Amino acid sequence: MSIINRLKSLFKGDIDKEETDINNDVSNTSNDVEVTSSQMEETIVPEVEDSEKDLTFKKDIEIVEDSSEEIVEEAETIEEVAPEEVEVVEEATPEEPEVVEEVEVVEDEEETTEDVVEEVEENSNDKDKKRDTMTLLTDKELLNDSNRDPDFTAEFIDAGIETVKHCFQCGTCSGGCPSGRRTPYKVRQIVRKCLLGLKEEVISDESLWMCTTCYTCQERCLRSVKIVEIIKKARNIAAHAGYMAKAHKMTGVFVLNTGHAVPINDNVKALRSKIGLPEVPPTTHAYPEALAEVQKLCKITAFDELIGYDEATGGLKE
């Protein structure tokens, strides 16, 4: 009897029938050999052992079948999970139009910046129509001999300010100028124009009168240019040409009325006493009779006429 048939008989519960078949087979042998009980046991034992082997083999088959079922179940779960992943990807894809929107926003920003630039250019063009005193760059024609006045430069040299030729425009004076931080005053520009002989541009420039004569530029100059002396000389020429700031004219009025450009008040007197100085300096404040001499000197030098002083009112002429 084959192994397959035995396996079928074992799992169908026909073990007893198989034993009877074995006995019949033994009894029907051609040699009519008597089968003893011991021989029967010997023949049954191997069959039982074979059955155990067959049983273990069957168990292995069942385990394999179970594992295959698990694999199938895992495959099904994978198939079930896969659509979710696809759905997640499909949900993520709609974010692409948002990037397009961001790009559109950037384009809008670029358009707005272009509009701002155009507005700034329009405003700058309007401002260019007026005098630009805040920058060294101007849209004027190129300089030639017709723009220059050699006698203007000679006036500085004749006044002992020959160092005007030593300036090489390093910018140290403008960089350290306290007034230049708050006003359109560009001392480097004025010195350069004085050297080039641009008289009309120098004397008509309102920023010429914004220097406080603090000497910071002159102390820091790398070439020891007498910068403050240049500014004073340029102011002198401008004043005689009819260009003078009203604030400086009012300072001249104080000199004619009190003998001081800045009259002393009570706060200054208290401060002088605090630091150990007399309340008033040894000037017209301490010697009022000296005021007449100051006024006489201003008339001899025609300073009163230069600033437009009105003796009757003690102020400026209209």
Q: Mind listing the pLDDT tens digit for each residue in 134-192?
A: 444 455 567 777 888 989 999 999 999 999 999 999 999 999 999 999 999 999 999 99
Q: What pLDDT is stored for residue 12 in this prediction?
A: 65
Q: What pLDDT is stored for residue 267 in this prediction?
A: 93
Q: What pLDDT is stored for residue 6 in this prediction?
A: 75
Q: Residue 266, by phi and psi: left (phi above 0), alpha (psi -120 to 50) or beta?
A: alpha
Q: What pLDDT is stored for residue 146 in this prediction?
A: 80
Q: What pLDDT is stored for residue 7 in this prediction?
A: 74
Q: What pLDDT is stored for residue 91 in this prediction?
A: 45
For the chain, what is the total number of helices (H) and then of strands (E)? Answer: 14, 2
Alpha carbon distance 169, 26 (integer Å):
133
Residue 152, class by beta-carbon neighbours within 10 Å (0-12 exposed, 13-18 middle, 19+ buried)?
buried
Does an H or E element contain 206, and which?
A: none
Single-letter amino acid code for the residue at 272: R
Q: What pLDDT is stored for residue 126 in this prediction?
A: 59
| 173 neighbors 221 (Cβ within 8 angstroms) | yes
Task: Provide the token pair at 91.
Answer: 């949900």
CA angle 16, 22, 27 (to 5 degrees): 130
Residues 6+ apart with CB under 8 A from 188: 136, 167, 169, 171, 173, 174
| 198 neighbors 148 (Cβ within 8 angstroms) | yes
Q: What pLDDT is stored for residue 94 in this prediction?
A: 45
* pLDDT tens per residue, range 266-294: 999 999 999 999 999 999 989 999 999 99
Alpha carbon distance 43, 27 (integer Å):
13
What backbone torsions phi and psi does residue 292 show, to the nearest 5 degrees?
-65, -35
Share of the chain above pLDDT 90, in %: 48
Alpha carbon distance 151, 162 (integer Å):
13
DSSP sequence for 70-137: HHHHHHHHHHHHHHHHHHHHHHHGGGHHHHHHHHHHHHHHHHHHHHHHHHHHHHHHHHHTS---S-S-
Residues of the chain whose pLDDT is less than 50? 26, 28-107, 132, 134-137
